[in-house]
Structure 1
Amino acid sequence: MTYCVGIKLQAGLVFLSDSRTNAGLDQISTFRKMMVYEKPDDRFMVLLSAGNLSISQSVREILQVEKLDNGDQPPITIWNATSMFDAVRVLGAAVRRVHEQDGPALKSAGIDFNASMIFGGQIKGEAMRLFLVYSAGNFIEATRETCFFQVGESKYGKPILDRVLTPATGLDEAAKCALVSMDSTLKSNLSVGLPLDLLVYREGSFASDRIVCIDEHNPYFRMIRSTWGQRLREAFEGIDDPQWDGGAAEHPLLGSSERYEALRKIGHPGERIV
């Protein structure tokens, strides 16, 4: 399993991925799931991948050379595409090519064709864009209403993203939010693990030097892990306990619902409540 998140903001893009893969409890390995494609002053693209590792690696390899027919014009590749939409079309074609090559053999072995990817960046002449690519090669694009995508083991890290992120969120705050999201996932799921790859891209720069590999010794991430857990505990302890004795309370728990009747108890074998 894995966990990756991509965030699109007014100020730029944030990408974060773990590096754990496993094929059973005794076959846990480390493989990086982030790929960066950079052509200074022209284009900057990042690919995050989750799912079957052999599929993801094949897609990455084919993506470098995959071409889309462009009529009388030169074929479209990720290196000459004039828009991120065309670039993600090339990625979708690479996914479908791998499916054509390996899908039947995987199916005969009882293995699903399982791969999902986050692909985002900026090509000179247009705004930043972020896409979620499915195993069929189709994709959707991030919007102002949905400014982040997750792939892999996403449920544990989603609440903090939902509560914090907006398009106006700053890059550093979004990077912090992504790391808290990753920490929540690491805490609850052993199939996600260190080291992590974090990348922050500033809008219009077409390059990034804010790339870091985070292991268990990284001082900032160690601070995140200890501080977030402590603050959650403090916030939890600051919430009043429920009052069951009928006494006065600022936020009473006991009371009747305007819509639903109270739960009824079954007192003998012949009683029915339906």
Structure 2
Amino acid sequence: MTRYAEVIGDPIAQSKSPAIHNYWIERLGLDARYDRQLVAPEGLSDYIASRRADPDWAGCNVTMPHKLAVMPLCDRLDSLAERIGAVNTIVREADGTLTGFNTDAAGFLEPLQAELAKSHYFRMARVLGTGGAARAIVVGLLEHGVTLVLAGRNPDKARAMLEELDPTGEHHAPPLDHFADPTDFAFDERDGCFDLVVNASPLGMEGQPPLEFDFSHVPPGSVVYDIVTAPLETPFLQEAQAKGYDTVDGLAMLIGQAAAAFEKFFGTAPPRDKGDARLRAVLTA
């Protein structure tokens, strides 16, 4: 029988996961498929129970609104998923038990690995947003010794997240609108530093309000990263590019987290050409 995995959520029609995984399946010639499945909140428990009994089901990716609700339905949680407090990948093990993982942090960090492999005397990231994606990003960055400035519309929520995840760290939680107005702050010599600015919010996404951000808050030599995928070239990234910053777009995280899940589902790494150029062409056609 054909082994299969799928992505679940409500809504689900917008998900790019089937295009990504089926592209890799075709490239590898696997007897497998990857589907999408609309699962309403009230049907989540029944869905998990029915799939658990199917030996051909490799598992599923989990998107909104189920990333928290699936956690008690798993038999085991990976330690990183437990720390992040959300599951985006469920794997059916050979004995029929279900393990919950979170591949968002790995996907986010993938395009930064070469830089993070270097030695720095200081690392700082300005992360805009306090939702589930931001939490995975914060955990991933903390694993690499990054000092955080976590900005949200509710600074108390940002501060509580930082105190929970790294209570002894010297992090900061300004309001999001702090970054909307210009600053005359004189950044010190940045040689030997790693600076990152991340839009981890939905601001700037199609149908959402714009991200109000003034680039006087960005240190020289920073990497500017936006996890929004529609549009792919957000005004935030366009301005960063115009000012000469290195940028990372939302497809990098999306493809990276999918690659980590694909290997768990199908037991082999997906084919990755340089920069995932061919896959990007499929996704943006």
TM bucket by the smaller chain?
under 0.3
TM-score, normalised by the number of residues in structure 2: 0.24
Higher CA-based Rg: 1
TM-score, normalised by the number of residues in structure 1: 0.25
The structure where helix makes up a greater share of residues is: 2
